[in-house]
Structure 1
Amino acid sequence: MSLADFIMNKFKLFIENFLVYGLGGIISKIIPLIMIPIITRLMPDSKYYGISDLSNTIVQLGSAIAVMGMYDAMYRMFFEKDDEQYKRNICSTALCFTIATSIVVSGIMLVFREQIAQFFFSDKQYAYVVYLSAIATLVGATNSIISAPTRMQNQRKVFLVTNTVSPLLAYSISIPMLLAGYYVIALPLAAVISGVAMEIAFGVMNRSWFNIRRFDRKLLNQLLVIAIPLFPNFLIYWVFNSSDKIMITNMIGIGAAGIYSVGSKLGHVSQLIYIAFAGGWQYFAFSTMKEDKQVETNSLIFEYLGILSFVATSFICAWSYLIFKTLFVGDYVDGYIIAPYLFLAPLLLMLYQVASNQFLVIKKTWPNMLFLSVGAIINIVINFWLIPILGIEGASIATLVGYVISNIICVMVLIKMKLMVLSKRFVIAASTMVVFMIIWRILFSTNIALGTIGAVIVTFFYAMLYRRELRKVFVMIATK
């Protein structure tokens, strides 16, 4: 079998896992995306959406600190032994720890509510929103553990149904509140109520897995050995995803943060792609890591996903203004300018995980954290420089540049270690994407026709660069 045929077979394996294990996990996340145009129309000012989104940002940070990597550690150790009692001890120990940390974190949030409100909302008057964020943190952190047995037993239908019901319940509560004029607390309060309902539901379904008397200090130590090293990675991702909104709030205003939050939601479309990718990638990556052509396979997967990301982003550039003009009204339309940058950013994270998987293969995980840390720091530095000049667009550029730098450093190190091969045509393709985005921004960011023509030209150019692979794909489809 030739290398090209070998690669295509492995690519087919990857696509199959992507579809089976990945796309099933994103269905429930589509609902909030669909609801954004409705929610923004019910709010008289963009600052209200900014407050709601920043409240969610606080919850994400608080929940992650409370969980402290325990979910992943619990998931890892659950399959360590085929012993039912051992598994129940693991679940019970993880929950006891998380309840304790959640109470501490939530308590700290309540004590320092004014300082937190000043930092996140740039105004102490929103301290009462932090109350809701603290409750949501307590509920969200513990719920992640209580719901875990459902996932670990592979009860996909139950998990999918509950994750679908949760946002529907939240919006059925928040929309009447918005219509009644409770713009500030509608979404945060609805999230709390929905979270409590889901925790009760999972608590009833999984009650046999948890018992405080099964707490085991020795097992806790083993869990923490796995969990604690995972915690810094979350902080890095949180900086990438959330520092922009906080800095915009404090440097421009909370209304601008609301526009930025809405603008970033188109980027959430690519996050759905990323979630689907992550669901299928893990099995593919570890099932092929011992094969002779693993380096070549991984490198070409990186290239192919990169090209697909560039093509998708070029059309988002072309149609962003039309999408926002159609879906949103008022100041929210201005968010179109940041959407392409924040659409590409999660896709670059996807590429980073493909490349950095090579460090996992050789059992070295610290470089991943180091390279992402560099990108996160660069993101913050560029924010200080560009936000005063370009506003919310400067923040989106900073996020994109941060991911680009992390990818470049990671790839260069892997190439030097002979763990990755990067072709010249991909370097040309990436450079073409940079040039296209610059031209789009300067000449036709609001011209749909010219943008579409440009995107088609870029796509055709990429098709020529990878014409051999495209022929094989068409042959594979034809034979089916």
Structure 2
Amino acid sequence: MNRAKLFIENFLVYGLGSVISKIVPLIMLPIVTRLMPNTFYYGLNDISNIVVSFGSAIALVGMYDAMFRMFFDKEDIDYKKQVCSTAFYFVTITSIVVFIVLIFFGGFFSKVFFSSYRYTNLLMISALSILIGSTNSIISAPTRMQNKRKIFLITNTLTPIISYCISVPLLLKGMYVMALPFASLLSSLSMLIIFYILNSSWFSIKKANIKVLKQLIKIGLPLMPNFLIYWIFNSCDRMMIAKIMGNSYVGIYGVGARVSSISQFIYTAFAGGWQYFAFSTMKNDDQVQLTSNIFEYLGIISYSATLVLTVFSDHIFKMFFKGEYINGAIIFPYMFLAPLLLMLYQTICNQFLVKKKTWPSALILSCGAIINILANYFLIPLIGIEGAAIGTFLGYAISVLICSIVLTKMKLVSISTRFIVDSFIMVIFFILWRNIAREKIIVSIILALITFGIFVTTYMKDIRLLKRKFLVKSIQN
């Protein structure tokens, strides 16, 4: 298959799937916030998600990415089944261990995460979600690795629908603490059953192999710190807001972050399609230039999308939310671009994984995480939840910058001067918008149009080339 077609098809199909999976929670968000009496309960749900993401990172031990990488090493089906089976039974064991630890020390972890012993039942639900969700990640992997996109679309449609069909009635009954986490648990369980039926032929205890496990651990274990660092990026801000400002502000921040997560439509599409594309083209002669071009194009698309939605962020929140939730608008621009910066990071960082060198990624992300924590520490007391959002944004931006410099020196990527210039212009836009244009819609629009015009001008040659290719193809057809 043509490489451009392969990438675009994967991007669009996984994009549609991600839009479906994310659009339902986004549509339901104003409804959910109105069904809850105050921001405190949404803050508890956000903390529960933090527990699940933390436990899942530990339980998976980097096995998903290691499994994905080794799956493409050989064409032998028996070998592929050995990889899948070994990863599955290993993750099942680690998931059970994490579950038992959380249950056994339930009171302690409830106090750590929820600041109260009252929420041990919520912690139990979170522990079960880790057990089921981590196992589901491995069981569903063969569907991704075989690029079965129709199944991806169907399951991504069903997951949020099942979840909200359960959670809304529970909220109406006044179960504000348990409704969303319990519904998410049951939804994940239903997906586990579906994928087990679809992919059971890929998993057999007889296919589990110690030699394969050693190789999986060799690739996956150095990746584990990466996922823990991702957890710091996604969760440290909420934990620090809870300690410094209280759970009610976590609720405001969580709603702001959830609305901003519409950028994850792009990121999730990329993440779903990128791994298959990257590993299936990793032996091509022009792989470095191909990766570099994709990095730049995705970067410009990310900047442009951020321009448009930043201008209207305050109006979006005032339209759909009431009360204190409106204050979440201030974090929108930073939290919208943050996942897209992560997408850019993973685009080029995958070069380390292609070379089977995973430790540099952990080191680079650690630098970004330290910046994130320091920014949170100093900025949250000064400017509240906006400080936490800026911390997340800066952490990812520094990670992308360091990764670009390292890989350029290793000659594994080639970043053009025009992209560097456009990145600086994007920073200038943020500064000007925040300080002089945020509450002036006309000024904001003019500022965004000028910035977008610069992006178009610097990439005009590529736009014309792409236009000619489409014209030639349309004539040939």
Q: Same fold (TM over 0.5)?
A: yes
Q: Is the 8 A contact 1:13 1:284 kept in 2?
A: yes
Worse overlay, 215-224 or 35-44: 215-224
1:185 to 168, 178, 181: 178
2:336 to 320, 328, 343: 343
Q: Is the 8 A contact 1:91 1:210 kept in 2?
A: yes
Deviation of 1:334 (Å) = 0.7
Unaligned runs of 5+ in 2: none
Deviation of 1:92 (Å) = 4.0
Residues 307-359 of structure 1, C-alpha deviation per residue, up to 9 Å, x if partnerless?
Answer: 22222112221011111111211111111110110111111122222333444
Residues 147 and 460 (structure 1), Cα distance of their counterparts in 2 relative to 1, 3 Å cut:
closer
Q: Is the 8 A contact 2:14 2:149 kept in 1?
A: no
In the other structure, the counterpart of 2:346 is 353
The total of aligned residue pairs comes to 472
Deviation of 1:214 (Å) = 5.3
In the other structure, the counterpart of 1:365 is 358
Deviation of 1:14 (Å) = 4.4
Q: Is the 8 A contact 2:126 2:181 kept in 1?
A: yes
Residues 290 and 166 (structure 1), Cα distance of their counterparts in 2 relative to 1, 3 Å cut:
closer
Deviation of 1:173 (Å) = 0.8
In 2, Cα distance between equivalents of 1:89 and 1:419: 31
Residues 309 and 252 (structure 1), Cα distance of their counterparts in 2 relative to 1, 3 Å cut:
same
Q: In the alignment, does 2:461 pair up with 1:465?
A: no
Residues 221 and 252 (structure 1), Cα distance of their counterparts in 2 relative to 1, 3 Å cut:
same
Deviation of 1:296 (Å) = 4.4
In the other structure, the counterpart of 1:129 is 122
Q: Is the 8 A contact 1:74 1:90 kept in 2?
A: yes
* Letter matched to residue 311 of structure 2: A
1:201 to 191, 194, 207: 194
Q: In the alignment, does 2:132 pair up with 1:139?
A: yes
Aligned pairs (5 A) from 1:78-477: 78=71, 87-212=80-205, 215-286=208-279, 294-360=287-353, 363-477=356-470
In 2, Cα distance between equivalents of 1:145 and 1:413: 32
In 2, Cα distance between equivalents of 1:212 and 1:293: 40
* Letter matched to residue 396 of structure 2: Y
* Letter matched to residue 161 of structure 1: I
Q: Is the 8 A contact 1:11 1:301 kept in 2?
A: no
Residues 367 and 300 (structure 1), Cα distance of their counterparts in 2 relative to 1, 3 Å cut:
same
In 2, Cα distance between equivalents of 1:466 and 1:95: 45
Residues 192 and 228 (structure 1), Cα distance of their counterparts in 2 relative to 1, 3 Å cut:
same
* Letter matched to residue 385 of structure 1: F
Counterpart of 2:169 in 1: which secondary structure? helix
Counterpart of 2:438 in 1: which secondary structure? coil
In 2, Cα distance between equivalents of 1:295 and 1:200: 40
* Letter matched to residue 406 of structure 1: S
Deviation of 1:25 (Å) = 5.1
Residues 464 and 74 (structure 1), Cα distance of their counterparts in 2 relative to 1, 3 Å cut:
closer
Deviation of 1:157 (Å) = 3.0
In 2, Cα distance between equivalents of 1:362 and 1:194: 37
TM-score by length of 2: 0.89
Residues 363 and 92 (structure 1), Cα distance of their counterparts in 2 relative to 1, 3 Å cut:
closer
Residues 179-235 of structure 1, C-alpha deviation per residue, up to 9 Å, x if partnerless?
Answer: 111111100111122222332333344444444465544443343333322211111
In 2, Cα distance between equivalents of 1:398 and 1:433: 17
Counterpart of 1:338 in 2: which secondary structure? helix
* Letter matched to residue 432 of structure 1: I
Deviation of 1:408 (Å) = 1.7
Residues 120 and 449 (structure 1), Cα distance of their counterparts in 2 relative to 1, 3 Å cut:
farther
Residues 15 and 218 (structure 1), Cα distance of their counterparts in 2 relative to 1, 3 Å cut:
closer
Worse overlay, 289-298 or 264-273: 289-298
Worse overlay, 218-227 or 260-269: 218-227
Residues 442 and 274 (structure 1), Cα distance of their counterparts in 2 relative to 1, 3 Å cut:
same
How well do the aligned residues superpose, as a CA RMSD in angstroms? 2.7
Residues 126 and 363 (structure 1), Cα distance of their counterparts in 2 relative to 1, 3 Å cut:
closer
Worse overlay, 414-423 or 254-263: 414-423
Residues 438-459 of structure 1, C-alpha deviation per residue, up to 9 Å, x if partnerless?
Answer: 1111123233332222211211
Q: Is the 8 A contact 1:269 1:343 kept in 2?
A: yes
Aligned pairs (5 A) from 1:48-87: 48-78=41-71, 87=80
* Letter matched to residue 111 of structure 1: F
* Letter matched to residue 45 of structure 1: N
Counterpart of 1:147 in 2: which secondary structure? helix
Worse overlay, 385-394 or 47-56: 47-56
Q: Is the 8 A contact 2:223 2:358 kept in 1?
A: no
Counterpart of 1:315 in 2: which secondary structure? helix
In 2, Cα distance between equivalents of 1:466 and 1:359: 28
Q: In the alignment, does 2:19 pair up with 1:19?
A: no
Residues 410 and 208 (structure 1), Cα distance of their counterparts in 2 relative to 1, 3 Å cut:
closer
Residues 109 and 316 (structure 1), Cα distance of their counterparts in 2 relative to 1, 3 Å cut:
same
Deviation of 1:361 (Å) = 5.4
Deviation of 1:26 (Å) = 4.7
Residues 358-379 of structure 1, C-alpha deviation per residue, up to 9 Å, x if partnerless?
Answer: 4455554322221111001110
* Letter matched to residue 400 of structure 1: F
Residue identity over aligned pairs, in percent, reads 54
Residues 363 and 145 (structure 1), Cα distance of their counterparts in 2 relative to 1, 3 Å cut:
closer
TM-score by length of 1: 0.89
Q: Is the 8 A contact 2:16 2:153 kept in 1?
A: no
* Letter matched to residue 179 of structure 1: L
In 1, Cα distance between equivalents of 2:31 and 2:126: 23
Residues 50-92 of structure 1, C-alpha deviation per residue, up to 9 Å, x if partnerless?
Answer: 1112111111111221222233334444555556555555444
In 2, Cα distance between equivalents of 1:222 and 1:357: 18
In 1, Cα distance between equivalents of 2:196 and 2:36: 35
Residues 113-148 of structure 1, C-alpha deviation per residue, up to 9 Å, x if partnerless?
Answer: 222222222233222210111111111122223333
Deviation of 1:260 (Å) = 0.8
